[in-house]
Chain A
Amino acid sequence: MTTLARLGRPSGDELGRAQATGAAGKGWVLWFGELRRLPRELKTKAKRGKHTNTHTYTQRVVRTIRANAVALSGIVYLFIAMRPMILKGHERPLTMVKFNREGDLLFTAAKDKVCNVFFSSTGERIGTYVGHNGSIWGMDINWDSTRLLTGSADATAKLWDAASGTCLQTWEYQAPIRAVAFGPDEQVMSVSQVKYKQEEVKVQVSRISEPNAVAGGASPMEITGFKENVVRILWYPTGEFFLAASEDGSVSKYDAETGSLIHRAQLHTEKIHDMQWGNMYAHFITASTDMTAKLVDVRSMEVLKVYKKETPVYSASISPLLPHVLLGGGQAADQVTTTSAARGGFEAILYHVAYQTELGRVRGHFGPINTLSFSPNGKQFASGAEEGYVRLHTFDPEYFNRAYE
């Protein structure tokens, strides 16, 4: 892996954004897999100059470089040449990427009805979990990576043996399943059922040992009262409560024992798409169509930080290593064709967690990023997008050596 620090001319758009987010002065931008070159304009000019006079040619080049350097207004753009791994295991838009606890495995779920598991170090696909008959919207991997839980639009949830890929158990529901989550003891799971025909949105907490949560004798705990679909469920590791993020923009905290609502915080004005834990479970981050991601204190449910983007945010992840937050998203899939890739905002954007300013961007996807996640060691991140690719990026040493002041 080579690191190239180079001056180049960003487009006005990038420069504007870098300035707008305060990255100017200290700012730098990460480019993965791309060597930046001198602007084309310079190249053509130089060619033209050659015909007339070599002297003017050099002079012009020098002058243009100077102009470009000045145009940067003090921003040093650092381009890191790094090869991302493109994991092509799905044919349809990704819905979720998730590392296991150790970070050596990457599980991916997509609308093509399958889940995949990859080695995170090499990008090699280990296997595929085949069995669902609809888009897989949610999944969870247990503590020691032995069991995989998936929820699908075919109105079933399945428990898999992670190593062999055999389906151990299937639960049937009346409506498509959106979010699934293991409880901390892995004896219970919570499943969210979407609004479907007469069925209202509900979250069921049931015991995994029961063959079918609905038909089972001990009736599962059912939680209703959501205005819109619950898209993510996060259990607090002590098992006291869990969080449910709904498409109405609210996050609700429920008592795990009784199923009663402890707190509901209206965090966003539009749909929430993703919710992930921060370090030590003290806070979580939500991603929303309202073009923001919010870092929320789990105890008080108060918003600590807000990260703004120019396009909808579909996923946000907190680095376990550095004070960084990564946001992914882009223009809504149905509008993508109306704009160019450059304006779509399909980059993953890195923010400083405390300053809330943009630090850099990672390009590569050509559709909106639906889901992304830092690896547990903070040295990698994976992103899955609408176009069906998962990109697995490993950060360059430069990324860790920089002072983020």
Chain B
Amino acid sequence: MEEDGRVGEEERESQREAFLRDAESSLLVVDNLPRVGLDKVDKLRGVLLKIFKEIGQLAPVVTSTSADGQAQTPGASDGGVFLPVDAATQQSKGFAIVRYKKPSHAEMALKATNGYQLDKNHQLVTCSLADVRRVQAVTDDFREPDEVARLKQAPATVVDTSAWLMDVRGREQFCIRHGDETEIYWQDSVLRAERDYARTHWTDSKVLWSPRGSYLTTFHAQGIALWGGSAWEKVVRFPHKNVKFALFSPNEKYVITSNALEVERDNPKDPQSIKVWEVATGRCLRGFLGEPAGKKMEWPVFTWNHEDSMFARMGPGVISVYGVETMSLLDKKSIKIPDVQRFTWSPTDNVMAYWTPENSDAPARVTLLELPSKRELRNNALFSVDGIVMNWHPQGDYLCCLVNRMTKSKKGRFPTLELFRMRPKGIPIETMEFKEGESITNFGWEPRGHRFAFMLSDGSPGGRWDVQIHTMQGNPAPGAAASVDMIKPVWTLEQKTISHLFWSPQGSILLLAGLTSTQNGSLEWVHVSDKEIISSGEHFQATDVKWDPSGRFVASSVPFQRSSLESGYMIWNCVGRELHSAGHDVFYEFLWRPTPPSVLVKSQLNEMKKNIKSFRDRYEKEDQELKESRRSGKAATRQREREEWQRILQQAAERFELEREMRMRARGGKFDYDATRIPQDGASLGFRRIETVIEHVVELREEVDMERGKLVNSDDDRD
């Protein structure tokens, strides 16, 4: 009997286990329910029953055998949904237990109902009993997982990509490419440019700095690679066959690459043309299709918003905005804008500007759209529009639309500037109109300022341009509301033979450059606030001019394609003093390393501005000391070299003296080396000149001035 009993006991035990196992897998815990009073418990259960019954047959949760005290709570008896009620508050506890007859149904229900929106405030959180057990098993004491501990012990292999910013002298860096070489230099205002790193065949085609300067991107047939840190190690690489383009997000979190593969040759299920990568992990987040064959890819296809959260691309009649979190279209659909021509993101806000041309009944429009809300902030209707170029202020304070408009006859063209003020309420717009035949190029906002400059031509031949500078913060017109700013002209430089304008990144200094082949690379530095031309210079044949990110230096360069003779670069300081120049036979490009935005808060900046004098004194002293130490160091080196040379000569003289006899012997005793004769002309040949008619070769040369290809008479050009 005892044995039987034991057998029975074991059987029961195993049945119980099977039951529990079954029960466990067929039970679901539904959380995040509303807490309702006793009167509404049944109603809630009804709602829940309706939801869960659809999936499979339910089984009662609380059986008579259940020992759970709360099960006896009146009104909580169930048809498969058990709602426990707190006896103290007389309210349901905010969760429910659901039991299915079959574990498979429970599984289905788990997937189907997790995240179910019960009402506005309640989204169901469904989990299996196993999940509950797992959560319960977690102790309250935190224990570091082994993995983390191991990682902590391991040496840091992460490349410090910001190390270069900690340079004691606060120097800038730049990268040049020439021949097969890619070189990175330090640029100091006192010292000569010093090479930091160089590598032959570093890149297959070009290089690209990331927007904050953390990485240098090299392009290869297999993909792109990012390099950084003080040793220029490879940080990460993104395999993308035949990659041609790359675009970083402004905060360097992501990078988009493209190999310009046509849609026809691409795989729509797994597009290879455009890829979005996460820089930190090296993961490919998503692929996109490129352009169809025959249409040239206009890079960048995608553009980023300022905080790396959205990126957008324009298609025919649509702008597709993608969220980074989901890597999918915002609200799962593109924004339909019939005939949209171009869009640009604000550099500081989640605002996008786009323009649409005129069609039969509607005017052309410039629209400001806020995202992701898709709220239209402002739109500006314009008539007789030929084209619009939109230009954001670097700090996002203003937007300028350069509108090329047609005269009534549609034959002539004239430009207008539509200037949006983004900060005041309602985004007021001001318009500047110009005469027919005039044209505007090189519109540029003053960084960190409120001024803008552009080049205006009246259309007469000769390539002369007026440089006009205006401010957005002119005094209000008399009678206008006191707080309203107006556009006001600041200064006009007339009749300049130039082709480009470059604002200093710090504002207030404007660089006028003539970079076309006939303008010889003339450069003129203009102080806008003082209305003064600071200095002028020339870099013959220069085609590229670039300010460094701090606004301390300007680099001008001549690629070898322009002139193989002048090929190279030149560095000037911010007021046009030439600092350094170098020529390379096959020079490609010059790239300043960008810097991240300042981490100083406004109060710190103001503090610094207040104490500018003490800073200046300190830095000037540092520079002076450096110069002196260099000078004395050089002098010391020279002294050493000189002394060494003297020693060599001394030894030579001693040996020479020692060997006198030997030399004499070698010459058969005939000649004495040290017998000094001062020969007359030809005396050594036995000549004695009686009379000589000297035919001087008097030079009256005409030089061909190679640089300008003109014949210049030597006398003519002396001042």
Residues of A near any B CB (own CB < 8 A): 11-13, 15-16, 19-20, 22, 25, 33, 35, 37-38, 40-41, 43, 63-64, 66-67, 70-71, 73, 83, 85-86, 88, 100-105, 117, 119-124, 126, 143-146, 162-163, 184-187, 237-240, 279-283, 297, 304, 323, 339-343, 353-355, 405
Q: Is the CB of A282 within 8 A of B652?
A: yes
Minimum distance in angstroms from B718 CB to a CB of chain A: 5
The stretch from B141-149, B367-375, B691-699 touching chain A is B691-699
Q: Is the CB of A304 within 8 A of B648?
A: yes
Q: Is the CB of A37 within 8 A of B717?
A: yes
Taking a contact as CB atoms closer than 8 A, the residue among B583, B682, B718 that contacts A105 in the complex is B682
Minimum distance in angstroms from B689 CB to a CB of chain A: 8
Is the CB of B192 closer than 8 A to any CB of chain A?
A: yes
| Assembled-state Cα–Cα distance A81/B422 (Å) | 65
Q: Is the CB of A122 within 8 A of B565?
A: no
Q: Type the 1/0 row for B626-644, where 1 means its CB is closer than 8 Å to any CB of A.
A: 0000010010001001101
Minimum distance in angstroms from A241 CB to a CB of chain B: 11
Q: Is the CB of B565 within 8 A of A343?
A: yes
In the complex formed, the residue of B with least CB distance to A278 is B652
Q: A104-B681, A143-B667, A238-B662 are in contact. Are A405 and B638 (CB under 8 A)?
A: yes
Q: Is the CB of B653 within 8 A of A280?
A: yes
Q: Is the CB of A145 within 8 A of B681?
A: no
Q: Is the CB of A123 within 8 A of B697?
A: yes
Minimum distance in angstroms from A55 CB to a CB of chain B: 14
Q: Is the CB of A323 within 8 A of B578?
A: no
| Assembled-state Cα–Cα distance A120/B679 (Å) | 11
Q: Is the CB of A239 within 8 A of B686?
A: no
**Chain A residues whose C-beta falls within 8 Å of the C-beta of B287 in the assembled complex:** none
The stretch from B38-46, B241-249, B449-457, B532-540 touching chain A is B532-540
Given A238-B662, A354-B638, 20 more A-B residue pairs with CB atoms under 8 Å apart are A12-B568, A12-B583, A25-B631, A35-B714, A40-B712, A40-B717, A41-B538, A71-B578, A73-B578, A86-B697, A100-B684, A102-B679, A102-B684, A105-B682, A119-B681, A163-B685, A187-B668, A237-B666, A280-B656, A282-B655
Minimum distance in angstroms from B67 CB to a CB of chain A: 93
Q: Is the CB of A185 within 8 A of B666?
A: yes
Residues of B near any A CB (own CB < 8 A): 192, 520, 522, 533, 535-540, 564-566, 568, 570, 576-583, 631, 634, 638, 641-642, 644-645, 648-649, 651-653, 655-656, 659, 662-663, 665-668, 670-671, 673, 677, 679-687, 692, 694-699, 705-706, 708, 712, 714, 717-719
Taking a contact as CB atoms closer than 8 A, the residue among B577, B644, B683 that contacts A354 in the complex is B644
| Assembled-state Cα–Cα distance A240/B583 (Å) | 47
| Assembled-state Cα–Cα distance A311/B686 (Å) | 42
Q: Is the CB of A67 within 8 A of B535?
A: yes
Q: Is the CB of B663 within 8 A of A104?
A: no
Q: Is the CB of B684 within 8 A of A70?
A: no
Taking a contact as CB atoms closer than 8 A, the residue among A22, A163, A279, A281 that contacts B686 in the complex is A163
Minimum distance in angstroms from B659 CB to a CB of chain A: 5
Taking a contact as CB atoms closer than 8 A, the residue among B645, B662, B668, B705 that contacts A40 in the complex is B705
Contacts A/B (CB < 8 Å), 13 sampled: A12-B539, A73-B577, A102-B677, A105-B682, A123-B697, A124-B694, A124-B695, A238-B666, A280-B649, A340-B706, A342-B565, A353-B645, A405-B642
Q: A40-B705, A124-B694, A239-B666 are in contact. Are A71 and B537 (CB under 8 A)?
A: yes
| Assembled-state Cα–Cα distance A265/B666 (Å) | 26
Q: A119-B681, A126-B682, A185-B666 are in contact. Are A354 and B642 (CB under 8 A)?
A: yes
Minimum distance in angstroms from B366 CB to a CB of chain A: 40
**Chain B residues whose C-beta falls within 8 Å of the C-beta of A144 in the assembled complex:** 671, 684
Q: A162-B685, A237-B666, A342-B565 are in contact. Are A355 and B641 (CB under 8 A)?
A: yes
| Assembled-state Cα–Cα distance A394/B533 (Å) | 45
| Assembled-state Cα–Cα distance A66/B533 (Å) | 13
| Assembled-state Cα–Cα distance A238/B662 (Å) | 5
| Assembled-state Cα–Cα distance A227/B670 (Å) | 38
| Assembled-state Cα–Cα distance A12/B582 (Å) | 8
In the complex formed, the residue of A with least CB distance to B683 is A104
Q: A67-B535, A238-B662 are in contact. Are A12 and B706 (CB under 8 A)?
A: no
Taking a contact as CB atoms closer than 8 A, the residue among A16, A70, A145, A354 that contacts B645 in the complex is A354
In the complex formed, the residue of B with least CB distance to A389 is B697
**Chain B residues whose C-beta falls within 8 Å of the C-beta of A143 in the assembled complex:** 667, 670-671
Q: Is the CB of A67 within 8 A of B536?
A: yes
Best-buried of A86, A117, A238 by chain B (most CB within 10 Å): A238
**Chain B residues whose C-beta falls within 8 Å of the C-beta of A37 in the assembled complex:** 717-719
Q: Is the CB of B681 within 8 A of A35?
A: no
Q: A73-B579, A185-B667, A279-B649 are in contact. Are A122 and B656 (CB under 8 A)?
A: no
**Chain A residues whose C-beta falls within 8 Å of the C-beta of B698 in the assembled complex:** 83
Q: Is the CB of B652 within 8 A of A280?
A: yes
Minimum distance in angstroms from B682 CB to a CB of chain A: 6
Q: Is the CB of A124 within 8 A of B581?
A: no
Lowest 7 A-B CB distances belong to which pairs?
A: A282-B652, A239-B666, A354-B645, A145-B684, A184-B666, A280-B656, A238-B662
| Assembled-state Cα–Cα distance A405/B578 (Å) | 25
In the complex formed, the residue of B with least CB distance to A104 is B679
| Assembled-state Cα–Cα distance A102/B675 (Å) | 11
**Chain B residues whose C-beta falls within 8 Å of the C-beta of A35 in the assembled complex:** 714, 718
Q: A185-B667, A339-B565, A354-B644 are in contact. Are A70 and B681 (CB under 8 A)?
A: no
**Chain B residues whose C-beta falls within 8 Å of the C-beta of A354 in the assembled complex:** 638, 641-642, 644-645
Minimum distance in angstroms from A101 CB to a CB of chain B: 8
Minimum distance in angstroms from B661 CB to a CB of chain A: 9
In the complex formed, the residue of A with least CB distance to B719 is A38
Taking a contact as CB atoms closer than 8 A, the residue among A15, A146, A297 that contacts B581 in the complex is A15
| Assembled-state Cα–Cα distance A35/B699 (Å) | 13
Taking a contact as CB atoms closer than 8 A, the residue among A19, A117, A184 that contacts B192 in the complex is A19
Taking a contact as CB atoms closer than 8 A, the residue among B576, B653, B686 that contacts A67 in the complex is B576
| Assembled-state Cα–Cα distance A162/B684 (Å) | 10
| Assembled-state Cα–Cα distance A190/B712 (Å) | 51
Q: A37-B718, A280-B653, A281-B656 are in contact. Are A67 and B537 (CB under 8 A)?
A: yes
| Assembled-state Cα–Cα distance A120/B685 (Å) | 13
In the complex formed, the residue of B with least CB distance to A143 is B671
Q: Is the CB of B686 within 8 A of A12?
A: no
**Chain B residues whose C-beta falls within 8 Å of the C-beta of A85 in the assembled complex:** 696-697
In the complex formed, the residue of A with least CB distance to B522 is A41
Taking a contact as CB atoms closer than 8 A, the residue among B565, B580, B696 that contacts A19 in the complex is B580
Minimum distance in angstroms from A167 CB to a CB of chain B: 16
Q: Is the CB of A12 within 8 A of B570?
A: yes
**Chain A residues whose C-beta falls within 8 Å of the C-beta of B655 in the assembled complex:** 280, 282
Q: A37-B717, A63-B536, A163-B686 are in contact. Are A122 and B681 (CB under 8 A)?
A: yes
**Chain B residues whose C-beta falls within 8 Å of the C-beta of A341 in the assembled complex:** 706
In the complex formed, the residue of B with least CB distance to A22 is B634
**Chain B residues whose C-beta falls within 8 Å of the C-beta of A38 in the assembled complex:** 719
**Chain A residues whose C-beta falls within 8 Å of the C-beta of B578 in the assembled complex:** 12, 15, 70-71, 73
| Assembled-state Cα–Cα distance A305/B56 (Å) | 94
Q: A40-B717, A67-B537 are in contact. Are A282 and B656 (CB under 8 A)?
A: yes
Minimum distance in angstroms from B233 CB to a CB of chain A: 30
Q: Is the CB of B681 within 8 A of A121?
A: yes
Q: A12-B540, A144-B671, A282-B651 are in contact. Are A70 and B577 (CB under 8 A)?
A: yes
**Chain A residues whose C-beta falls within 8 Å of the C-beta of B653 in the assembled complex:** 280
**Chain B residues whose C-beta falls within 8 Å of the C-beta of A25 in the assembled complex:** 631
**Chain A residues whose C-beta falls within 8 Å of the C-beta of B682 in the assembled complex:** 104-105, 119, 126
| Assembled-state Cα–Cα distance A354/B533 (Å) | 45
Q: Is the CB of A83 within 8 A of B699?
A: yes
| Assembled-state Cα–Cα distance A92/B642 (Å) | 41
**Chain A residues whose C-beta falls within 8 Å of the C-beta of B644 in the assembled complex:** 354
| Assembled-state Cα–Cα distance A119/B568 (Å) | 45
Q: Is the CB of B659 within 8 A of A105?
A: no
Minimum distance in angstroms from B436 CB to a CB of chain A: 27
Taking a contact as CB atoms closer than 8 A, the residue among A66, A102, A184 that contacts B663 in the complex is A184
**Chain B residues whose C-beta falls within 8 Å of the C-beta of A323 in the assembled complex:** 645
**Chain B residues whose C-beta falls within 8 Å of the C-beta of A237 in the assembled complex:** 659, 663, 666-667, 673
Q: Is the CB of A282 within 8 A of B648?
A: yes
